[in-house]
Amino acid sequence: MEKEELVERAIEARKMSYSPYSGFCVGAALETEEGEVFLGCNIENAAYGPSVCAERTAIFKAVSEGCGDFSQIAIVGAPRGESISRFCAPCGVCRQVMSEFCRKDTFMIHLYDGKEIRSYTLGELLPLAFDLDGV
Ligand code: THU
Where do the domains of the chain lie, and which CATH numbers do they carry? 3-124 (3.40.140.10)
Smallest Cα–Cα separation from 56: which of 117, 23, 99, 9?
99
- Our answer on whether the CB atom of 44 is closer than 6 Å to any ligand 1 atom is yes
Instruction: Give the dihedral sign, CA 97/101/104/105.
Output: negative
Instruction: Look at strands 108-112 and 70-79 and give their pairing.
Output: parallel
Atom of ligand 1 nearest to the CA of 41: 3
Q: Is 55 a catalytic residue?
A: yes
Q: 121 CB under 6 A from ligand 1?
A: no
pLDDT at 46: 98
Q: What is the pLDDT of residue 132?
A: 77
The rounded Å distance from CA 43 to ligand 1 centre is: 9
Average pLDDT along the chain: 97
54 C-beta closer than 6 A to ligand 1: yes
Q: What is the pLDDT of residues 99-134, one digit of tens each?
A: 999 999 999 999 999 999 999 999 999 999 998 777
